[in-house]
A and B are shown apart, each in its own frame.
Chain A
């Protein structure tokens, strides 16, 4: 059974840093790209970042580029999101999701339960 478990969320002051982790199990982690998606309170979903299976390619939304860094440790089946220079508007529930490729397209087939990040002013 595929499981994704986020951790590392919390309350931080504006300008501060946090590192989220997502522990994966139930599949061959290194074979799949992974993604972070966030959801601000009462708002919609927002794609944040993605990383290839090897970790060699990374992608970011404009809203976080230069402040957030996605990485992975395939030996520990863990995905990370290092968040620096945090802003109040980064307050959200952060989901990690597994990306599944099929017929040249892809979708997010498994999601974690999310980690809450709250940035205070």
Chain B
């Protein structure tokens, strides 16, 4: 069974840069999976950050960027701020209407 992999946790200093990744247990992530990235803070519904690999959703600051790095999708946050502390999820479109979420990365800003 295919699993979408993400780092369980990551920490970044205020003002720093962090790259979160999204891989597949078998195979490589490419643009054909149309990777999405979502941010979720406690008690809130998820919010779209990035879709189709590298397109920022409306209102998302350009500190957030998406890409493919090697065989993984990546979300890079530059100039990290305190309110970037959250859980980040990637989602891959697996075809036939099926989506797969990664396990999420808890980002700490300290």
Contacts and interface: CB of A to CB of B under 8 A. Distances in A.
Interface stretch (B10-18, B68-76, B77-85, B94-102): B94-102
Chain A, interface size category, equals 20 to 34
Chain B, interface size category, equals 20 to 34
A44 B104 CA distance: 6
Contacts of B104: 44-45
A45 B40 contact: yes
Interface string A47-61: 100101000011101
A1 interface: no
A104 interface: yes
A99 B100 CA distance: 14
The 7 closest A-B pairs by CB, nearest first: A105-B34, A59-B97, A107-B51, A111-B45, A44-B104, A107-B36, A47-B99
Interface of A: 33, 35, 37, 44-47, 50, 52, 57-59, 61-62, 95, 102-109, 111-114
